[in-house]
Chain A
Amino acid sequence: MSYPESYKYTKEHEWVHIEGDRATIGITDHAQHELGDIVFVDLPKPGSAVTKGQTFGSVESVKAVSDIYAPVSGEVTEANELLAKTPEQLNSDPHGAAWLIKVKLSPSNSETDSLMSAADYQNYVGAE
């Protein structure tokens, strides 16, 4: 699966797609592959705040649970309701339909520098 060039990536295997003061957040294809069959996704409610580097939810397979860390700070505007009914979407389309949350970035968000490009991330998971 390809890693969109327009996304930024974290060492904890999240991606973020920033458009203006809005961002969409998901987990990477590498992450879903490592987790195996995903059975449950726990996401924050719209209106709650997420902080860069802090967990905002979790993804569960049958025998493992992984925290998801926010790549940026902001306020959740939408959580992907599709995943409540069909968590398996996260296995099939992690970079597209199975995004996790959309956030409105906090004004102070100049913190995206530490994130990786698609190429860097692919190197990173190749090397891990």
Chain B
Amino acid sequence: MLDVIGLKSEEDLVSYLPADVRFDGRLAIPDGKSEYEIVDYFREQGARNASGYASFLGAGVYHHYRPVLVDTVVSRGEFLTSYTPYQAEISQGTLTSIYEFQTMVCQLTGMDVANASMYDGSSAVPEAAMMAVRITGRDKVLIARTVHPEYREVLHTCTQHQGIPVAEFEYTKSGTVDLDDLAAKLDNETAAVMVQSPNFFGIIEQIEELSSIVSRKGALLVVVFTEAVSLGLVRPPKEADIVVGELQSFAISPAYGGPYAGIIAAREKYIRQLPGRLVGETKDANGHRAFCLTLATREQHIRREKATSNICTNQALLALMATVFMSVYGRQGLRELAQQNLAKAHYLASKLDLQFDAPFFNEFVARTNGKTPEQINRELLDEKIVGGLPLGRYYPELENCVLLCATEMSRRQDMDRVAEAFAKETRA
């Protein structure tokens, strides 16, 4: 090969670089390791983590069982090692599965159109806000304090230089959004009102009522969700204008925070304002049904500085995991799964002192009554249980509260132990 190019050694290729930029040193990275050593290293790191603990953490990331089929499908090289399906003739596998994904997201959320997925739930939030700004021609965004705190942070980071003022509104003693505070802050410049349901406290919001308040002022209602399993049982937010959320619950490993798959779905009339990739149905030259990426002119590679978003990739492989998960559970299974989550969470909640009284799905806020959340969690760790999330860091007014989550994977005996830890006197 070198002969063909006309070089003596591979080192000569480096001469293509100007002399003043060449790196002549050695990278301070240890020599290459064997496969066995690599596996061993990561096993060791894994073992230093919380292996073998029961967990009652939720807060945007949920422990649900992952059907075996999910990894079987996504491990197929044809899905794993292909690129974005630009060449429709040899990408029908990915395109068809994305079309199924878009359809299922619509069926679940009650929306008309959904894109091929977003980075994650948090980054979908500013995308929805900017979409509402484009649609309404207004610039203000109101977001409920009951939306995931990190999602709100991402919204602030991403909108700060876009001329989009973001304000937050309060929650009530019941744990739902404060409609009076919303009404006071909502005005004719508001582009979007963003709420989460089930909200960060696990509580289900009144979407219909919110929608009528918001639409009366000509703003758009954006509904966020983090626990996709809730959609198996809880009424979908079909009065919303835009729905964004996180599908981690659908067979995507918690994996210390990512990669996950976000969604954005909306009413049909907003289709051209959707960010990201979109797959559409069409016909091939033989007249048979085929799929292709469509409405690409919204995207950055064509519209450059005028694009609807700078997002390039979707999360195709994770969307595929979610698609397989939804197919395996299906119409009946998703409901039954949600029922189990509901039953487990309400079993645990029945043994604790709750902060809020509004209906909740599989997460709820419990008061610690005299102990600190840290004391309780410390005691639970000794029993190989990871307790709930202490809320003080995100909500100073809830410093003696813990956000707990129970899923179909929570065992009764572990829940009983959690209840005991809340009940018993602090060790000296």
Contact = CB atoms under 8 A, between A and B. Distances in A.
Q: Do A and B come from one complex?
A: yes
Interface of A: 39-40, 60-65
A18 to B, nearest CB: 30
B272 interface: yes
A65 B303 contact: yes
Interface in B286-323: 296-297, 302-303, 306
Contact of B272 (A40, A61, A64): A40
Contacts of B302: 63-65
A40 B306 CA distance: 16
Contacts, number: 16
B207 to A, nearest CB: 30
Interface residues of B, number: 6
Contacts of A60: 297
B272 A63 contact: no
Interface of B: 272, 296-297, 302-303, 306
A88 B297 CA distance: 16
Contact of A62 (B272, B296, B306): B296
A67 to B, nearest CB: 9
Contacts of A40: 272, 297
Determine which residue in A40, A61, A64, A65 has the highest number of CB atoms from chain B within 10 A of its CB, and name it. Answer: A65
Given A62-B297, A63-B296, 14 more contacts: A39-B297, A40-B272, A40-B297, A60-B297, A61-B297, A62-B296, A63-B297, A63-B302, A64-B297, A64-B302, A65-B297, A65-B302, A65-B303, A65-B306
Nearest to B307: A65
A62 B272 CA distance: 13
Nearest to A65: B297
Contacts of A39: 297
A100 to B, nearest CB: 17
Q: Which 6 A-B pairs have the closest CB atoms?
A: A65-B297, A60-B297, A65-B303, A65-B302, A63-B302, A63-B296
16 contacts: A39-B297, A40-B272, A40-B297, A60-B297, A61-B297, A62-B296, A62-B297, A63-B296, A63-B297, A63-B302, A64-B297, A64-B302, A65-B297, A65-B302, A65-B303, A65-B306
A63 B302 CA distance: 7
A63 B297 CA distance: 6
Nearest to B294: A62
A58 B303 CA distance: 11
Contacts of B272: 40
Determine which residue in B272, B296, B297, B303 has the highest number of CB atoms from chain A within 10 A of its CB, and name it. Answer: B297
A32 B136 CA distance: 30
Nearest to B293: A62
B291 to A, nearest CB: 15
A61 B303 CA distance: 12
Determine which residue in A61, A62, A63, A64 has the highest number of CB atoms from chain B within 10 A of its CB, and name it. Answer: A62
Contacts of A65: 297, 302-303, 306
Contacts of A64: 297, 302
A81 B192 CA distance: 28
B60 to A, nearest CB: 37
